[in-house]
Amino acid sequence: MNTGAQLARSVGVATKVATVLNKRTAKAQEEYSQHMRQVLAGDLIDVLRQSATNPDPQAWYRYAVDATQRSVLFWETLWTRGNNFLDRATEGFRPVLHFAYDTVLDGRQFDRPVNYALLKIVPPAGVEVDAKRRPYLIIDPRAGHGPGIGGFKDDSQVGVALRAGHPVYFVVFFRDPEPGQTLLDVCDAEQLFVKKVRALHPDSPKPAIIGNCQGGWAAMMLAASDPDETGPIVINGAPMSYWSGAWSEGEGDNPMRYSAGLLGGTWLASLTADLGNGKFDGAHLVQNFESLNPANSLWEKFYHLYDRADTEPARYLDFERWWGGYYLMNREEIEWIVRNLFVGNKLWSGDIKSSSGQSFDLRNIRSPIILFASMGDNITPPQQAFNWVADLYESTEDIKSRGQVIVGLKHGSIGHLGIFVSAKVATKEHAQIVSVLKSIEQLPAGLYGMSILEQKGPTGEVEYQVEFQEHRLEDVTARLNRFQRADEKPFDAVAMLSDFNQRAYELFAQPIVQSLSNPVTARLLEAWHPLRLQNWSISRLNPWLSWVAPAAEAVRKNRQALEPDHPLRRCERLGAGCLGAALEHYRAMRDAGTEALFFTAYANLFSMYLADKAPPAVAGSPAALDPREQLQVRQALEHIAEGGYPEAFGRVAVLLTQRGEPLPLWRLEMRKELADTYAEYLPDLPVHRWRSLRGEQEIVVRLEPALSLATLPALLSLPTDRARMLGLLDKLAVDPFVLGASLTPGQWEMLGRIRAVLEEDQGALAPPAPQGSRKRPAVPLQSKA
């Protein structure tokens, strides 16, 4: 590439960056103005009018008393938070589980010790668990905080699974890693946990693996490395495609993905771990999360506590039990994460190898996968949760031919933490996921969107109904990535520069840093980290705060609360709202500048050194070739007349399927009942092999509908096979469940055509018409409870 072309590219990059920056700053200013109007509109005028028309000489005195008392209660809450922090640190930061538990396995005693353990949750009083139901194994994130957020309260992932009668197991970890442990050692330990759960429940279906955030990609690695042991997988807010985030003029702004590039890559994680004497402090990760929302971290959560000082402390302190616990990682662990995932983005590519030297190929996963993400999540945006599917599979036909079931569930607004801790999300989305996992293996191979329909029941309670809508991968990718993922190209330059900086650090600086680090300096750096400092500095360790407890006790005995709608209280909230709006404006401007700086640096670096080497097509973009040119499709069509009873059964199932319509959960459950009823007619195949076979037949039927029907007799050349199929069709035609399912005229017609083809010269025998107007009984919606 000549200099002129490179300069032209740079001009193009600068023009686009400037355009987007201008739009972002204008949008930030508009949102700030709108926010201020919302804060001040109406309330300010009302407050001024009340103050002018109803002057109260005692108002300022009463407000001063109330404000002072709330201040004392506020500081007492922070003082209690600090004391709780010290107590938990002394005890070793136990899991924050709401439920009692028993330890089943302790990874610290394994041949390759890891700081992980397997717990069995003890059902609370009044909750019965069936040991033969599918067990649940929940993996919490190890991303700075401690474990337990998946069972933090009664309405949680643990709670909804227990109330549905399932045994629940929980993977936890301890504060300090074992010497020398790696992420691959952790994966091996989790494999042992799964095997133990299976051994404890030999008569149950394979355990469902629930992974939250970092636990999501850990669950995927676990399932890929040992696919025969795991059941359905649910990953909640889990980053899988780390470069994604949809660079756009408006929605889709996710600044966290730029952090590694602006910090120069992975070397800073190595430096931090070396300063910690070989251990990386998780408080740094928590601080990154807090920096995403300075309005909340610096002001709103504290003002909310001050504003509701009489009622808010209990909830605040309960949450701080988890948020204020900081865990450690080995240098090897954090370096593996940042090199292979955050910067390298290698999880989906197969470039990561297990401890046995085998690649983690996510296509080896044989169980259905549910991806739960939220549009309001700026830590794991939907693109990071879903794009790996487009990276991994070439097309919709590739998913079907491999027998994979992938279900996407998207929330419209909840934030990252809300995915795990929100009671509303637990009682709606997570409860319905539990109901779906009972029969999800009946779904044919493909990519689905899961919808939860909400309505009022006969007694007024909230009830839900689940539907699945099949989608094509190409369509989903186009909708989710409005810029065809062109915004991900500069991350190749980030990876390149990161490798250079990492080698430079290891060569020139690491020996010096490691020689200066020791347990004492590492402990001092931990203790004086700003997040820990704000805890222990406001605690019993601070003698200047010894007055807080007796003062708070005196306030509670003589509390003189001002009514919440008093004009001065409303003025206070107006001021707080204005400050919050200003911090939100700062965040928007900061993020816009961060984004502009990132693309100015790395888009130009990519343009100069990597653009000519980049592949012409972006992975996961809509396929330009005719589907018939794809390898899986060619193979399926070439063997359209080859096979036996299993292939014929799969083709008949596809021919009779009503395509394009949502599939309600009750119909999926009916399929499971029919499969149990007619087990003697079903091919004797493993579930995954059956889905793969059916997926191949679906490709055949979609592209060659007439030929697929005409060649059906060739698959049933054996008289016993043909008689077996006709016997099944005869029984289905008079089955009350099938009749009550309201088959369409097209399905009845197809049933007749199948019989006609199979009976050859005997003539087509039309299936018996449904008697009367028998309908399937109304299927009750699934209650919130």
User: What's the whole-model pTM score?
Assistant: 0.91
In the block, residue with structure tokens 């130009």: 604
Note the pLDDT of residue 773.
36
Note the pLDDT of residue 111.
94
Note the pLDDT of residue 522.
97
Of residues 573 and 481, the one with the higher pLDDT is 573
Could you tell me which of 409, 407, 412 has the C-alpha nearest to residue 429? 409
Residue 334: phi, psi to the nearest 5?
-70, -35
Cα(304)–Cα(670) distance, integer angstroms: 49
pLDDT band at 736 (very low <50, low <70, confident <90, very high): confident
Contacts of 289 (CB under 8 A, 6+ apart): 144, 379, 416
Q: Are residues 342 and 193 in the same domain?
A: yes
User: Is 498 within the bounds of a domain?
Assistant: no
Contacts of 106 (CB under 8 A, 6+ apart): 117
Residue 121: phi, psi to the nearest 5?
-75, 130
User: Is 568 within the bounds of a domain?
Assistant: no
Q: Which of 437, 469, 493 is the last residue of a domain?
A: 493
Q: What is the pLDDT of residues 640-678, one digit of tens each?
A: 999 999 999 999 999 988 777 888 998 888 888 888 888
Number of domains in the chain: 2
| Mode of pairing for the β-strands spanning 116-121 and 168-173 | antiparallel
User: Is 718 within the bounds of a domain?
Assistant: yes
Q: Are residues 482 and 631 in the same domain?
A: no
Cα(188)–Cα(226) distance, integer angstroms: 10
Q: Mean per-residue pLDDT for 281-291?
A: 95
Q: Which domain holds residue 658?
A: 627-783
User: Is 606 within the bounds of a domain?
Assistant: no
Task: Confirm if 446 and 695 have CB atoms less than 8 A apart.
Answer: yes
Q: Residue 243 is part of a domain; what is its CATH number?
A: 3.40.50.1820
Q: What is the pLDDT of residues 58-75, one digit of tens each?
A: 888 999 999 999 999 999
User: Is 324 within the bounds of a domain?
Assistant: no
Q: What is the pLDDT of residues 389-420, one digit of tens each?
A: 988 998 999 999 999 999 999 998 898 989 98
Q: Which of 493, 514, 532 is the last residue of a domain?
A: 493
* Alpha helices, DSSP H, located in 324-448: 331-337, 382-392, 396-401, 418-421, 423-425, 431-436
Cα(741)–Cα(130) distance, integer angstroms: 31
User: Is 483 within the bounds of a domain?
Assistant: yes
Task: Confirm if 560 and 62 have CB atoms less than 8 A apart.
Answer: yes
Q: Which of 465, 493, 521 is the last residue of a domain?
A: 493
Q: What is the pLDDT of residues 101-133, one digit of tens each?
A: 999 999 999 999 999 999 999 999 999 999 999
Kindly tell me if the per-residue pLDDT of 700 is higher than 90.
yes
Note the pLDDT of residue 763.
41
Neighbours of 123 (CB within 10 A): 18
Check residue 264 and give left, alpha or beta (phi > 0: left; psi -120 to 50: alpha). Answer: left
